[in-house]
Amino acid sequence: MGKRVGVLMGGWGEEREISLKTGEAVVAALESRGHQVTRVFAGPGLDRALRSAELDVAFIALHGRMGEDGRVQGLLELLELPYTGSGVLASALAMNKPVAKKLFRLHNLPTPQGYRVGRDEAADALTLHGDLGFPCVVKPACGGSSVGLSVVREPEALVPAVAQACRFGGEALVERFVSGREVTVGILGGKVLGSCEVATPRESFDFDAKYKGGSRYFLPPRLSVTRVANVEALALAAYRALGCRGYARVDLLCSDTDNDVVLEVNTLPGFTPTSLLSKIAAQAGLEFPELVERILSLATRDEAGILDAPVVAPTPTVLEPRRAVS
């Protein structure tokens, strides 16, 4: 008998339309597998909508700020409702790219050199830039779908690019530009599903390249077997470094000098039958409805292990009376 599943879609941010597409694809897949599905449109009053829906589990089909950054996950924890994807802390860490990069370095994972710039510091970006050099990549510090991303090749273009990126969340991340192949790795249940190389005629795999066509996909990537294994190992290590669970997609760059670097971990990647994770799963023999079912089966809560543990009464400690010292 199917579960009562609430598919959370929409949301507050600039990725609302992408989320709605993800949500409808997930709804169709879940219904084809016999589940009772309720569309839950995220926005003001989400807590009341979730309480009244009488759900067994939440399938999060949100992207970007408010949906992917741990806040909705925290609400679901308070409602004691299992949900798909990573928990509160891992979601927040993955969404905050500057913090995630610090953790990558702590775990000896290569990642492009860069720095954070706040909205109030945008005018001083050239001073903060130091010897990072050009070209460089500027993107929102907390965001997804490459919204607000730009490649800056001249010093005079840096401040406007930082100001543009700061429009999405108030902070920008400036990184050294790495030339090479863009590779993304799919992870499901703590194991690598496979990897895909994305070739785009644009300078980077930005929003237009992702959603307006023109890109080509190679499964597996056009790399040696040894190097693909290294890239996939790096991706899994990055996933574990942030404490992720359920599923994710890890983006990396494989430079022309044989150096592979981790860019970011997407804890709730775009998710339709033609999305990158779905392409990787299909290459591994897992069609979209079955992939959705597998993700649903991994739904849980951060505190589930503690809440479900048996209560053990503490053993009383008997203290012997102290003897007088003669």
Q: Cα–Cα distance between 297 and 249 in angstroms, integer?
A: 18
- Reply yes or no on whether 115 is catalytic: no
Q: Which of 251, 260, 275, 302 is catalytic?
A: 251
Q: Which two tokens stand for residue 19?
A: 């989320």
Q: Is 14 a catalytic residue?
A: no
Catalytic residue check, 211? yes
Contact status, residue 66 vs residue 9, Cβ threshold 8 Å? no
From the candidates 6, 11, 13, 15, give the one annotated as an active-site residue.
15
Helical ranges in 79-141 per DSSP H: 88-95, 97-106, 125-129
Amino acid at 176: R
Q: Indicate which residue of 85, 270, 278, 301 is catalytic.
A: 270
Task: Respond yes or no: is residue 2 known to be catalytic.
Answer: no
Q: Please identify which of the residues 14, 206, 232, 264 carries the catalytic annotation.
A: 264
Strand segments (E) across the chain: 4-10, 36-42, 57-60, 114-118, 136-140, 150-152, 171-176, 180-188, 191-199, 216-218, 247-255, 260-266
Q: Is 145 a catalytic residue?
A: yes
Hey, what amino acid is at 206?
A: D
Catalytic (active site) residue 247: no
Choose the catalytic residue: 19, 266, 275, 278.
266
- Give how far the C-alpha of residue 168 lies from the chain's centroid of Cα atoms, to the nearest Å: 17
At residue 237's C-alpha, the angle toward residues 95 and 148, to 5°, is 30
Is residue 94 within 8 Å of 267, Cβ to Cβ? yes
CA distance 170 to 143: 11
| 156 given a catalytic annotation | no
Catalytic: 239?
A: no
Q: Which of 31, 105, 176, 211 is catalytic?
A: 211
Residues belonging to the active site:
15, 145, 211, 249, 251, 264, 266, 270
